[in-house]
Amino acid sequence: MKTAFITGITGQDGSYLAEHLLDLGYKVVAMMRRSATPDTSRFAHIEDRITMCHGDLMDQSSLMRVMDEFKPDEVYNLAAQSFVHASFHEPIHTGEVTGLGVTRMLEAVRLSAPNARFYQASSSEMFGDVFETPQTERTPFHPRSPYGVAKVYGHWATVNYRESYDMFACSGILFNHESPRRGLEFVTRKISDHVAAIVFGEKDQLALGNLDARRDWGFAGDYVRGMHLMLQHDTPDDYVISTGTTQSVREFCKIAFERVGLNYEDFVVVDPKFFRPAEVELLLGDASKAKDTLGWVPEVDFQGLVEMMVDADLKRRMVMGNGPTRGSLPEGLA
Ligand code: NAP
Ligand code: G4F
């Protein structure tokens, strides 16, 4: 039985990846950092099948210790300060965790589990002020936030360890991926949760920033399959994972509100506090390399993703016994 080691288990991707690897028959070891209020809700349904350990990307010794103890076959480094907006307020912390944290993980693997295959969670945010559209593995980077800058560092650290030490290290350049488990601070989940709150009379409006920003949004459950496939290939490499379609925040709102029979224009207001000092206006990925080399294809399309997220936030409220006060519930939920 192969052992996979995951950092970032409490996050969105960690929970989907752990599920996927357990389904494939892996022993899954997952690392959590110490917290005064630990939250295991995203993976509570599989927690008893996971071996948990403690460690922090800020603490080199903790990473060495867990690599030494578990000697995993595969390491998935998903942990990061991953919220772009927050990275403008905490640029040093973001650089420490999201950037230098990658080198700490690579060092721990190199010194304590040198045969492990390594996956780094890189990001389409690295393309930033895009040089070309669509973006591929060969598109130059121009990050637009401390988060994007830190991810560029992590990407090149991964490439450098592959070239310097012959490590099986892959960088997955993943475009935005969402799900009902997405953090409430990210725009897609903020929208789906507010739509449900508006239907149930808890809120009357949704305040957003830049409605014209465009993203290539996919489903997290599809994207974790790509991470695993990268580490099964004969040779380590870097891959874009994306849907090849792009939509605006406004289009996301339109479909989300339509799902409950409402018009987004009646509820969405623009609040400048949600604008960023520098914005990534357009992302659109070309995942041809992952499709041709790994056989990876996404299964959930944009409309399906929006509806999945809105329905999940509606259901969560229905379970609590509340009734809708506005709009209409989608067929199947009513
Ligand atoms: P997420 O939900 O924000 O999860 C981030 C995880 O990192 C959490 O488990 C968090 O733990 C952990 N973490 C933060 N600081 C840590 C530290 N110092 N030591 C150990 N763990 C720490 O992110 P996600 O959406 O699942 O994304 C997973 C990874 O993919 C991230 O690296 C992200 O930057 C990258 N990525 C995401 C997307 C996307 O669209 N989702 C796209 C491209 C790349 P706590 O619960 O303790 O905070
Ligand atoms: O949902 P977002 O915060 O995601 P963003 O900045 O694209 O970053 C996410 O995807 C990256 C991959 O490209 C990951 F690496 C990263 O970790 C994270 O998962 O914002 C999406 C867009 C932005 O253009 C933002 O300005 O939505 C715009 N937006 C408009 N109003 C808003 C809001 N974003 C948020 N979070 N909140 C708003 O009210």
CB 83 within 8 A of CB 125: no
- 3-178+218-241: CATH, from 3.40.50.720, 3.30.930.10, 3.30.43.10, 3.40.50.150: 3.40.50.720
Domain positions in the chain are 3-178+218-241
DSSP string, 213-277: -EE--EEHHHHHHHHHHHHHSSS--EEEE--S--EEHHHHHHHHHHTTT--GGGTEEE-GGG--S
What is the Å distance from ligand 2's center to 84 Cα? 7
| Residue keyed to tokens 């990534």 | 280
- The two structure tokens encoding residue 264: 């987004």
One-letter identity of residue 109: V
258 tagged catalytic: no
125 tagged catalytic: yes
| Gap between the Cα atoms of 21 and 39, Å rounded | 21
Q: Tell me the pLDDT of the chain (334 aa) as tens digits.
A: 999 999 999 999 999 999 999 999 999 999 999 999 999 999 999 999 999 999 999 999 999 999 999 999 999 999 999 999 999 999 999 999 999 999 999 999 999 999 999 999 999 999 999 999 999 999 999 999 999 999 999 999 999 999 999 999 999 999 999 999 999 999 999 999 999 999 999 999 999 999 999 999 999 999 999 999 999 999 999 999 999 999 999 999 999 999 999 999 999 999 999 999 999 999 999 999 999 999 999 999 999 999 999 999 999 999 877 788 889 899 888 7
Pocket of ligand 1 (CB under 6 A): 7-14, 33, 35, 56-58, 78-82, 97, 121, 123, 174, 176-177, 183
Helices (H) and strands (E) in the chain, counts: 11, 13
Q: Which of 19, 125, 178, 251 is catalytic?
A: 125
| Residue keyed to tokens 């560029």 | 152
